[in-house]
Amino acid sequence: MPCNTVFFQETHDLALEHITVLDLTHMLSGPYGTMLLADLGARTIKVEPPGTGEGTRRLLEKDPDYARDGMGAYYLTLNRNKESVCVDLKSAEGKAVFLDLVRRADVVFDNFSVGVTERLGIDYASLSQVNPRIVTCSVTGFGQTGPETQRPAFDQVVQAMGGGMSITGTPESGPTRSGIPIGDLGGGMFGAMGVLAALVERDRTGRGQHVDISMLDAQISLLNYMATMHLMSGHVPEGIGNGHFVHVPYNSYPTADGHIIIACIGDPFFERFVDFIDLPALRDPTYKQQPVRFAIKAEIDALIGDELKKQPTAHWLERLRAARIPCGPVNNFAQALSDTQVVARDMVVEVPLKTGETVRMPGNPIKLSAATATAYTCPPALGEHTRQVFGDLVGYSAEKLEALRQAGTIA
């Protein structure tokens, strides 16, 4: 099966199929952002250095559990629906070749350290000289302004600095990072959103612009109303595990065979829950008021936990749902990825490989009514599309392509 085979039949045009993205990203934050754009139909061309290519190509590539067809899970997931060209951006010839791509592109997306694009001469100021409509996006740890731009940053660094870790876990356990790399993923998500906003503005003005995304900024934004509460009151929240700092009961509770979440937001839900669980100790009239419940939160949680341990998760979920009380199981990966709602919304998809095999991975969470089916192509081999892209998109002759290859400018 060739790498550009479409596994799902496309029934409508994809929203971004008129957009071409030059993907200079590596590792996680940047590739995730460009993956989202590629899933929405953008022609996404990875521009990789000859030789090793982008960093995640080698990651887990030989692991018996986490690799297929010589590609590890990182690379397989983040680079579906993309093409690959090899260009030596550090050479004058390579930069000239890259600029020929820029003239025909809409977006250049990178997550280099601050200053790298300027040193290479491929920053927005330089690229806009050859294509005034170009939109550039850089995802960095701390952004491109301020006193800390040169600090190195990885996912857990910005999770810690952004405040989220301080309210995850408990005072006893200490700060705990999110189980998913939300520092990296948050940067990629905001990068994709910023690019889309810049493209919409370009339709109005005719000019592109630069999108500056700080992973730390993203973490601060995700604090949302909790940050506002702190700024209003001066109170510094601590980790409260799976509980809530306002609502009771709102927590994870053990059952006979697992855990469930119950989320009673507001007094009316609590009254409905009391009727459901029928524990005399919870019928104290004073408990109908949230401040009273919150003052004895640990006692209420202990009463509920003792009762829920008597029956398995499925028993309680059926009854809670019938009573229309917000609840859910605490799923492991196997349970989450086989959930009927998840499967029904195509959130587990099969991406083809050149071997004819397929790899299952998370689908595209953005559902557009005019594009009811998504096309997936396998992640590209290093430089797989170099001749195709420079021949078809840029218009280089076969002779010029061969000369560039011989010079080591492209591969």
Catalytic positions: 244
DSSP symbols for 91-159: SHHHHHHHHHHHTT-SEEEE-PPTTHHHHHT-SHHHHHHH-TT-EEEEEESS-SSSTTTTS---HHHHH
Cα distance between residue 230 and residue 235, in whole Å: 5
C-alpha separations of 227 from 168, 222, 232, 355 in Å = 14, 9, 9, 50
Q: What are phi and psi of 245, to 5 degrees?
A: -90, 5
CA distance 293 to 247: 8
Q: Residue 380 gets which letter from DSSP?
A: P
Q: What does DSSP assign to residue 364?
A: -
DSSP string, 296-350: THHHHHHHHHHHHTTS-HHHHHHHHHHTT--EEE---HHHHHT-HHHHHTT-EEE
Is residue 342 within 8 Å of residue 272, measured between CB atoms? Answer: no
> CA-CA distance, 215 to 190, in Å (whole number)?
9
Whole-number Cα distances in Å, 316 to 199, 258, 283, 300, 304? 48, 11, 20, 18, 12
